[in-house]
Amino acid sequence: MTSPIRYTIQAVHPAAHLFEVSLHLDDPDPAGQVLSLPAWIPGSYMIREFARNIVRFSAMAGGRTLKVRRHDKHTWQLPAGINGPVTVNYTVYAWDLSVRTAHLDQTHGFFNGTSVFLCARGREGRAHLVDIRPPAGMEDAGWRVATSLPEAEGEDGAAERYGFGLYRAPDYDALIDHPVEMGRFSLAEFDACGVPHAVAITGRHDCDLRRLVDDLKPICEAQIRLFGEPAPMDRYVFLVMAVGEGYGGLEHRASTALLCSRADLPYVGMDAPGEGYRQFLGLCSHEYFHTWNVKRIKPAAFVPYDLSQENYTRLLWAFEGFTSYYDDLMLVRSGRISVADYLGLLGKTITQVHKGSGRRKQSVAESSFDAWTKYYRQDENSPNAIVSYYTKGSLVALLLDLRLRAESSGARSLDDLMRALWVRHGQTGLGVAEDGLFALAAEIGGAETGHWLRAMVEGTDELPLESWLKRVDVNLAWEASATGVGLGVRTAADGDALRLANVFDGGAAQAAGLSAGDVLVALDGLKVNSGNLDKLLTRRLPGEEVEIHAFRRDELMRFEVILQEAPRDTAKLSLAEGGSPAHRALRAGWLER
């Protein structure tokens, strides 16, 4: 029997943000054990080079220090010919308050395994045991541990639920897919379809936990029922970090790590969910949906992940886009938000896609493939160059859903496609081929539907939103901004000043020579500040010329700008008056459960 890989991890110096980790291996590779740290974390498609945070590294065998060879930025090799156990000690600097890496101070600790656990290459399939120790010198601080990593039942020193001690993962892939939070968090527990769920909230907050549970439970149950019971996990944990300003989430097989603004959490006495709380519930719903879609149903390109480099797939529109479609849809279907609120959210998504001309230059298949260098590394030109596989992908999902429903008189829908993916890929572990979604859409909706889906995914034509929304008696109207004229820019406050964040292709500002980064000083001799541009532009007409002064770096420049008509790119959705019973029935099947 092969022996497990053993780790200990301890917050040795919270004020210096240092975790001390040791890895113990009974039988290192006699040819020279290779150890590596992932270059990226699944779910966040960017090379992050986590090994850069390892600040000290040593290896010991038989009481002596080993000479370690470096191969590249994330790989270490122990000497050949070691026939006994080896222990590797290293320190990890943890000061990134995000869901993707690790963070430690005197108030709490958080880590993803991808940041702290070296992989013993060739031994990934063994059991991995982790001893999570209380923070050094703070044993009485009342810290607990929240994680979906299973406690190492039956082992000496096995952790109890929410306690420090020994945890166990069946293999390395699982080890790095259960983030760990430690600190003095608030905790709420609930069951969804018989599966225990927990929410642990770290950071200062006044969250109404009962309200949160009352809202999360129906969302989780709606998703479990969509894919069919039993749920694929025995337990699920929402790890929430509440901060002043922040937003983010990362999905895992039995948990999610979330970062949110404390003002977005529900409070005692809150009535209907406000915009912030709706967004937070949407985020929870999104990451939870990933439990099936991307954590178990995966692109073939991710089976298995190669954590040393980029893993290319043209399918993120299906894994992120379809998940983005279902996140808000599950809120309305589970009765958390009204149909009017849902249409408002859908209108916002449509507007986001239409704000940039990138949608006419890049398809969502291309956007998926280039996620590593484009979507995840956006710059001032991104609106002109790329389309989001999240937002446009969710509109593709909407259209496919509406078409499947309309053409089958409500008998079939995207839910059937998701269930087929779950049965054929999620439950079997077989990855989805790059053109697998087109084949499946054809199987469920007919060959024509497959071709139509491919054209939307691989092409850059405008999506046929109006015509398919009509089939469920929803009107789509386009509105322009209030001023009636536009410069063709997106601005950002820079203290009291106004900076151009993006300059859109074909817009008035670009035609006049203004660039992203320019700081506006005056419009027709009147001072521009961070809040008055719209005011200065009202009463102006398309075709009028205005004089703009702006600083580019430290040089004052003058521009003659011919104002353009503001584009009608803001989508407003509404329920059609009257309407047909058939359309109403389709809409009920779509939005109600």
3 state SS of 326: helix
Chain centre to alpha carbon of residue 203: 21
DSSP string across 349-396: HHHHHHHSGGGGT--HHHHHHTTTTTGGG--TTHHHH---TTHHHHHH
Nearer to Zn ion, 221 or 320 (CB): 320
Minimum distance between the CB of residue 170 and Zn ion, rounded to whole angstroms?
25
Minimum distance between the CB of residue 591 and Zn ion, rounded to whole angstroms?
22
Question: Which residue in the block uniquely carries the two structure tokens 């609106």?
Answer: 383
Label residue 484 left, alpha or beta by phi (over 0 means left) and psi (-120 to 50 means alpha).
left
Residue 87 neighbours by CB distance under 10 Å: 15
End-to-end CA distance of the chain: 51
Minimum distance between the CB of residue 489 and Zn ion, rounded to whole angstroms?
29
From residue 100 to residue 139, the character string flagging contacts with Zn ion as x (rule: CB under 5 A) and all else as - is: ----------------------------------------
Question: Which amino acid is it at 502?
Answer: N
Nearer to Zn ion, 375 or 504 (CB): 375
Nearer to Zn ion, 287 or 473 (CB): 287
Nearer to Zn ion, 320 or 328 (CB): 320
Nearer to Zn ion, 258 or 472 (CB): 258
Which residue of this chain has its Cβ atom nearest to Zn ion in the complex? 320
C-beta separation of 390 from 320 below 8 A:
yes
Nearer to Zn ion, 101 or 449 (CB): 101
- Greatest pairwise CA separation for the chain in angstroms: 83
Minimum distance between the CB of residue 305 and Zn ion, rounded to whole angstroms?
16
Extract long-range pairs of 244-247: CB within 8 Å, 24+ residues apart.
246/97, 247/279, 247/283
Instruction: With residue 108 as reference, give the H or E element that holds it.
Output: strand 108-111
Minimum distance between the CB of residue 324 and Zn ion, rounded to whole angstroms?
7
Site for Zn ion in 180-219 (CB under 5 A): none
Residue (of 28, 51, 29) closest to 39 by Cα position:
51
DSSP string across 198-266: EEEEESS----HHHHHHHHHHHHHHHHHHH-SSPS-S-EEEEEEEESS--EEEE-SSEEEEEEEGGGS-
CA–CA separation, 470 and 69 (whole Å): 65
How many Cα atoms occupy the beta-carbon half-sphere of 158 within 13 Å?
12
Question: Which amino acid is it at 567?
Answer: P
Minimum distance between the CB of residue 250 and Zn ion, rounded to whole angstroms?
8
Minimum distance between the CB of residue 320 and Zn ion, rounded to whole angstroms?
5
Nearer to Zn ion, 29 or 320 (CB): 320
Extract long-range pairs of 438-445: CB within 8 Å, 24+ residues apart.
441/400, 441/417, 444/404, 444/412, 444/416, 444/417, 444/420, 445/400, 445/403, 445/404, 445/407, 445/408, 445/412
Nearer to Zn ion, 130 or 371 (CB): 371
Count of residues that interact with Zn ion, criterion CB under 5 A: 1
Question: Which amino acid is it at 87?
Answer: T
Minimum distance between the CB of residue 242 and Zn ion, rounded to whole angstroms?
20
Site for Zn ion in 230-289 (CB under 5 A): none
Nearer to Zn ion, 264 or 320 (CB): 320
Instruction: With residue 536 as reference, give the H or E element that holds it.
Output: helix 533-537
Nearer to Zn ion, 325 or 438 (CB): 325
Nearer to Zn ion, 20 or 320 (CB): 320
From residue 278 to residue 297, the character string flagging contacts with Zn ion as x (rule: CB under 5 A) and all else as - is: --------------------
Site for Zn ion in 306-335 (CB under 5 A): 320
Minimum distance between the CB of residue 327 and Zn ion, rounded to whole angstroms?
8
Minimum distance between the CB of residue 15 and Zn ion, rounded to whole angstroms?
34
Q: Where does this chain bind Zn ion (CB under 5 A)?
A: 320
